[in-house]
Each structure stands twice: as structure tokens, then as C-alpha cells.
């Protein structure tokens, strides 16, 4: 079954404590990306990756890092989270005409 697996589903953390949200896909897709969803703003792209070791900034990259060491995995790293990064996060993996989404991660930074 085609799948994008994101973990954790929920996370509460404190300001400044490094965290990683994992994302894994089983479809051998080259292209993956991260989005954040905020009320009234829709989903905005944070970072994307066109293949292993190839990543680039999206529309709202400040405060985030990513890595793509393997094709299937694309973790999102917050090295020093701040309250304005409280949001709903989605990982997506792309075929040429469709995106597949993970289940979402609700992050709260206090």
C-alpha cells in the first residue's frame, strides 16, 4: 500500500529543545516536501527535496532544517523551536501528477 508515514502525530515541547519529525515514503518518489498549516493561511511549503542530498527552501524555511540521506526518508528538524512554530505539519511525497500526504503532526511549542 502506498504510504507516507509521519511521526509523531502529536508533540508538545519547550522553547529551544531540539526536535525531529520523521517522514518516510514507500513509493520510491524522488520529490518530497514539508508544509505547515495555520488557520487562515492554508498550507505553506517549508522545504522540499528533489532527490537524495538535494534540498531547497520553500516559502517559509526560517527556523527549520531538513536532510535527505536516503530516498525514502525526509526528516524535518527544529533545532531551537519557538512558540511561533506551533502548527500542524505535513510531509508530502509526489508522483508526477499527485501528492501523497502523511497523517500530520500537531506541534505545540510552549
Partner 1 sequence: AQTVTQSQPEMSVQEAETVTLSCTYDTSENNYYLFWYKQPPSRQMILVIRQEAYKQQNATENRFSVNFQKAAKSFSLKISDSQLGDTAMYFCAFMKQFYSGTASKLTFGTGTRLQVTL
Q: Does 103 bind partner 1 (CB under 8 A)?
A: yes
Q: Does 11 bind partner 1 (CB under 8 A)?
A: no
Q: Does 28 bind partner 1 (CB under 8 A)?
A: no
Region of 84 on the Ramachandran plot (φ > 0 left; ψ -120 to 50 alpha; else beta)? alpha
Cα–Cα dist 99/8, whole Å? 20
Q: Does 74 bind partner 1 (CB under 8 A)?
A: no
Q: What would the grid cell of residue 75 be? A: 526528516
Q: What would the grid cell of residue 29 be? A: 518518489
| Rg, C-alpha atoms of the chain | 13
The CA-based angle 10-13-19, given to 5 degrees, is: 85
Smallest distance, partner 1 to C-beta of residue 13, A: 19
Smallest distance, partner 1 to C-beta of residue 82, A: 22
Smallest distance, partner 1 to C-beta of residue 53, A: 13
Return residues touching partner 1 (CB under 8 A): 30-31, 33, 35, 40-45, 48, 50-51, 56, 58, 88, 90, 92, 94, 96-99, 101, 103-104, 106
Amino acid at each position: 500500500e502506498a504510504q507516507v508515514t509521519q511521526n509523531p502525530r502529536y508533540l508538545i515541547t519547550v522553547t529551544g529543545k531540539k526536535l525531529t519529525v520523521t517522514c518516510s515514503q514507500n513509493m520510491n518518489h524522488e520529490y518530497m516536501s514539508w508544509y505547515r498549516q495555520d488557520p487562515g493561511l492554508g498550507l505553506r511549503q517549508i522545504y522540499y527535496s528533489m532527490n537524495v542530498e538535494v534540498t531547497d527552501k520553500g516559502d517559509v524555511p526560517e527556523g527549520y532544517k531538513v536532510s535527505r540521506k536516503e530516498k525514502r526518508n525526509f526528516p524535518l528538524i527544529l533545532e531551537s523551536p519557538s512558540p511561533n512554530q506551533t502548527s500542524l505539519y505535513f510531509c508530502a511525497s509526489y508522483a508526477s501528477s499527485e501528492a501523497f500526504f502523511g497523517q500530520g503532526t500537531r506541534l505545540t511549542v510552549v
